[in-house]
A and B are shown apart, each in its own frame.
Chain A
Amino acid sequence: MSISKEAYTVLESIVGAEYISDDPAVCEGYRSGPGGYESGLGYERVMTVIPGCVIMPNSTEEVQRIVKVCCRYNIPYVPYSTGFYGPRSHPHVDGALLIDLKRMDEIDIDDKHWFAVVGPGAIYSPLQEEAMKRGGYVVIGGGGAQASVIANLIGDGWSPLSHRIGLPHRRILGTELVLPDGELVRMGSLAQQDDPFWGEGPGPDLRGLLRGYTGLRGCLGIVTKMAVKILPFQPERLEPTGISPHTSLALPEKRVKWINFVVPNKEAQVKAMFEIGKAEIAGAVTKVPLFWRAIAKAECKEEFWDLWGKENSDSINKFFIVRVLLIGFTSEEQMQYDERVLMDIMTEVGGEARPTKPSDESWIKNADSAGMWMMCGSYVSVDYVIETLSQATQHGETYADLKWKYTPPLMPDYGDPGWFQSFELGHQGYSEFLVYWDQDQDTNGVDLFYVDTAKMNIKNRAYTSLLGPHQPLYLTGPKYGPNYHTWLLRVKEEFDPQWVCHPPVPLAHDVFMERAPWMKSMKDWEVPKDLPK
Chain B
Amino acid sequence: MAERQTKIDVKKLFAESPKTPVKLDITDLNNFVYDMSRCIKCKGCTWVDHIYMPGAQFRTKCPTATRYLYDSYGANGKMRIGIALAEGKLQWTDKLLEIIYADPLCGACDVGCKRNLDLEIGLTLEALRVKAVQDGVGPLPAHKKIAQNIEKQHNFFGSPHNNRTTWLSKAKLTPAQKADVLYFVGCSASYSNPEIAQATANILKAAGTDFMLMPDEWCCGNTVFSVGMIEEARALARRNVEEVKKTGAKTVLTSCAEGYRMWKVDYPKLLNCSTDDLGFKVVHLVEYVAEQIKEGKLKPTKSMNMRVAYHDSCSLSRLSEPWTPWEGERGWMGMVEPRLTRRRGTNGVYFQPRDILKSIPGLELVEMPRTRENAFCCGAGRGTKEAFPDLAQWSARHRLEEVKYVGAEALVSACPWCKNNFAQAVKEDGDAIEVLDISEVILASIATKG
Contacts and interface: CB of A to CB of B under 8 A. Distances in A.
B41 A374 contact: no
B257 interface: no
Given A126-B55, A126-B59, A133-B55, A374 B117 contact: yes
A23 interface: yes
B55 A130 contact: yes
Nearest to A299: B342
B304 interface: no
Contacts of B372: 243
For chain B, the bracket of interface size reads 35 or more
Contacts of A308: 8, 10
Given A35-B38, A314-B6, A438-B333, A146 B50 contact: yes
A103 interface: yes
B141 to A, nearest CB: 19
A244 interface: yes
A29 B53 contact: no
B298 interface: no
A374 B116 contact: yes
A377 B6 contact: no
Contact of A244 (B7, B79, B332, B346): B346
Interface in B265-297: none
Contact of B70 (A21, A126, A129, A378): A21
B336 to A, nearest CB: 7
A438 B7 contact: no
A313 B69 contact: no
A319 B129 CA distance: 50
Interface string B24-61: 00000000000011111111100101111111100100
B344 to A, nearest CB: 6
B38 A245 contact: no
A306 B2 CA distance: 21
B331 to A, nearest CB: 10
A25 B99 contact: yes
B81 interface: yes
Interface stretch (B88-96, B202-210, B354-362): B88-96
Interface stretch (A323-331, A349-357, A365-373): A365-373
B334 interface: yes
A181 to B, nearest CB: 27
Given A302-B336, A313-B5, A29 B78 contact: yes
A21 B91 CA distance: 17
Contacts of A28: 72, 77, 80-81, 84, 90
A130 B93 CA distance: 42
Interface in A243-261: 243-249
Contact of A126 (B38, B56, B74, B79): B56
Q: Report whether over half of chain A's contact residues are helix, strand or loop; otherwise say mixed.
A: loop
B4 to A, nearest CB: 5
Given A103-B69, A302-B339, A313-B5, A249 B83 contact: no
Contact of A438 (B5, B36, B44, B332): B332
A320 B47 CA distance: 35
Interface stretch (B107-115, B163-171, B413-421, B433-441): B107-115
A84 to B, nearest CB: 5
A125 B50 contact: yes
Given A29-B99, A369-B42, A370-B44, A412 B335 contact: no
A368 B53 contact: no
A129 to B, nearest CB: 4
A366 B10 contact: no
Contact of A312 (B6, B78, B91): B6
Interface stretch (A207-215, A400-408, A480-488): A400-408
Contact of A245 (B8, B36, B56, B116): B116
A312 B407 CA distance: 56
B41 A83 contact: yes
A82 B5 contact: no
A460 B374 CA distance: 48
A247 B90 CA distance: 38
A378 B42 CA distance: 13
Contacts of A313: 4-7
Contacts of B2: 404, 407-408, 412
A281 interface: no
A33 B374 CA distance: 27
B55 A29 contact: no
A317 to B, nearest CB: 10
B335 A25 contact: no
A160 to B, nearest CB: 16
Contacts of B376: none
A406 B4 CA distance: 11
A312 B5 CA distance: 8
A28 B39 CA distance: 14
Contacts of A411: 333
Nearest to A295: B116
A32 B78 CA distance: 13
A123 B95 CA distance: 29
B373 interface: yes
A246 B116 CA distance: 10
25 contacts: A24-B93, A26-B70, A26-B95, A30-B71, A30-B77, A30-B80, A34-B37, A34-B83, A35-B39, A35-B79, A83-B41, A125-B59, A146-B47, A146-B50, A244-B49, A244-B344, A244-B374, A300-B342, A302-B339, A311-B8, A312-B7, A313-B6, A368-B116, A412-B2, A438-B334
Give the 6 A-B CB pairs with smallest separation, nearest first.
A29-B72, A29-B77, A145-B50, A309-B10, A125-B53, A366-B50
Given A29-B78, A412-B8, 12 more contacts: A26-B99, A29-B81, A35-B40, A37-B40, A83-B41, A102-B69, A125-B47, A301-B335, A305-B335, A374-B116, A412-B2, A438-B332
Interface of B: 1-2, 4-11, 14, 36-44, 47, 49-56, 59, 69-74, 76-81, 83-84, 90-91, 93, 95-96, 99, 111-112, 114-118, 332-337, 339-340, 342, 344-346, 350, 372-374
Interface of A: 19, 21, 23-31, 33-37, 39-40, 54, 56, 82-84, 100, 102-103, 105, 107, 123-130, 133, 144-146, 240, 242-249, 300-302, 305-306, 308-309, 311-314, 361, 365-366, 368-371, 373-378, 404-408, 411-412, 414-415, 438-440
